Amino acid sequence: MKYIYSLLLILAPVISIAQQVEYGNNLTITRPVYGNLYITGKNIIINAPVYGDLIVAGGTVTVNDTVQNDILAGGGEIHMNGYVGEDIRCVGGKLFVDKNTGGDLAAIASSINVSKDAVIAGDLLASGGDLILEGTIKGSVKTGVGTLAMNGTIEKGLDCRGNEININGTINGATVLAARYINIGRSAAFMQNVRYWNENGSTDFGESIKKGRAVYDKTLAIDYPTWQFLGYSSFIALIWYLATVFIFILLIRLLFPDITAKAGEGLFNNTGRAIGNGILFMIVVPIIIIFAFMTIIGIPVAILMLICYITLLLLGSVLFSVLLAQWANRGYKKKWGFWKSAWAALGIFILFKLASLTPFVGWLISLVAMCIAFGSILVVLRSGRNVSAG
């Protein structure tokens, strides 16, 4: 990981003329930054204004002061407590927005909370597990989440697809709702037409329709995927797929026994730090590859890095299953040998694959798991322990 940080420092002047780069475990910015700020670490606190863009990745990120331009953030838990002049783009475990934003908010997270004091001047695009909207959105809202709780105000339209939708606020634009369950509260107010679908076939909107009308629209029906055969069309294809996965599990266990053992033992010791390192890996490596492609000498290296990076992403769920099996073996004192551990990893992979097929949040489960797996490996490599590759 230190080498990635070093490469990022080398490339940073190319990325931006006026910029500041910071990295470490616990970082607090207390002086104004007159330009862009690139910062990575375990716990990050921004207590001074940033007169440019903020690009940040960490376990816990807290922004307490003004950011003049955009924010690009990734982390286990992210708190936006300061004014943001332009857009926020965020990927994380939990996101809390407590102050105004001058542009759009685009977020992917297991939990997104926009407080009642927050005003988003642009649009809100959200995807993930739960979205709690208490504040005001001046633009429109488009979201695909597990659960939406809308208690604030949306000046333009709302388009929500999910598992459960709870409306108890005001929507001034046209509304589209599609979910298994739709609940309309007493304080809900729709100022234009509503098109909706739910599994029950109808929803009681009560007195919430102030203008226009509510229309049940079958074309909005969500085709929730079935879990039969893990999404594969035939039993033979399933067996072939699982056999391939099992081979990769064996190879990972044979080639990297010490690394996987130590990473598995500490898999959930510091989840936030692991997620932060994993997100950093997934963001920084593509940046390095892009800049390597810009130089003639670096093209062969860039191609090799790109192949390795794509391979790691494809094997991310397999690696997570191996580490989780190692964690269970140590945590529950199973004393599994090589083969029992491998079979346990395959069983975990099957359960993980089923969970990843959950509508709307399945891909998020996969993303978080891969970040934890990659981050745990990086934590072990950075720890300075004597880890052998065989």
pLDDT at 90: 83
**Spatial distance between the Cα atoms of 303 and 158, rounded to a whole number of angstroms:** 43
Residue 4 has a pLDDT of 41
Rounded Cα–Cα distance for residues 15 and 285 (Å): 14
pLDDT at 60 over 80: yes
pLDDT of residue 340: 84
Query: How would residue 296 be classed by pLDDT, with cut points 50, 70 and 90?
Result: low
- DSSP-H helix ranges across the chain: 2-15, 235-255, 257-265, 271-293, 299-314, 316-331, 338-356, 362-382
Most confident of 90-99, 169-178, 278-287: 169-178
Q: Determine the Cα–Cα distance for residues 281 and 316; give it in Å rounded to an integer.
A: 12
Q: Which of 153-162, 217-226, 318-327, 353-362 is least confident?
A: 353-362
113: nearest Cα among 134, 127, 129, 90: 134
CA 99 – CA 84 distance, rounded (Å): 8
CB neighbourhood size of 238 (10 A): 16
Angle between helical axes of 235-255 and 338-356 (0-180°, round to 10): 130
Q: What is the mean pLDDT of residues 146-159?
A: 94
Residue 221's identity, in one-letter code, is A
294: DSSP letter? T
Indicate the angle between helix axes 338-356 and 362-382, nearest 10 degrees: 140
Distance CA 33, CA 54 (A): 10
Of residues 11 and 77, which shows the higher confidence score?
77
Q: Taking the CB of residue 13, how many other CB atoms lie within 10 A of it?
A: 10
The position carrying tokens 């716990």 is 43
Directed axis angle between helix 316-331 and helix 362-382, to 10°? Answer: 70
Under a CB-based contact definition with an 8 Å cutoff, are residues 92 and 111 in contact? no
Q: Which two tokens stand for residue 161?
A: 């697809």
Rounded distance, CA 179 to CA 145, Å?
Answer: 10
**233: pLDDT strictly greater than 60:** no
188 vs 241: which has the higher pLDDT? 188
DSSP letter, residue 100:
-
Q: Which two tokens stand for residue 327?
A: 């964690």
Spatial distance between the Cα atoms of 182 and 207, rounded to a whole number of angstroms: 15
Q: Which residue has the tokens 């780069």?
A: 21
In sequence order, the β-bridge partners of residue 192 are none
Highest mean pLDDT among 38-42, 70-74, 164-168, 273-277: 164-168
Rg (CA), the chain: 23
Q: What is the DSSP string of 202-236?
A: ----TT-B-SS-EEE-GGG---PPP-GGGG-S-HH
How many other C-beta atoms lie within 10 A of the C-beta of residue 126?
Answer: 23
* pLDDT at 292 exceeding the cut of 80: no
Alpha carbons 6 and 9: distance in angstroms, whole number = 5
pLDDT in the model for residue 236: 56
CA distance 305 to 289: 7
pLDDT class of 183 with cuts at 50, 70, 90 = very high
The answer to whether 264 and 325 have CB atoms below 8 angstroms apart is: yes
Measured between alpha carbons, how far is 121 from 136 in angstroms, rounded to an integer? 8
C-alpha to C-alpha distance for 387 and 261, rounded to whole angstroms: 10
What is the mean pLDDT of the segment spanning 221-244? 59
Distance between CA atoms of 243 and 319, rounded to whole angstroms?
15
Q: What is the pLDDT of residue 6?
A: 42
314 three-state secondary structure: helix
Average pLDDT over residues 271-290: 77
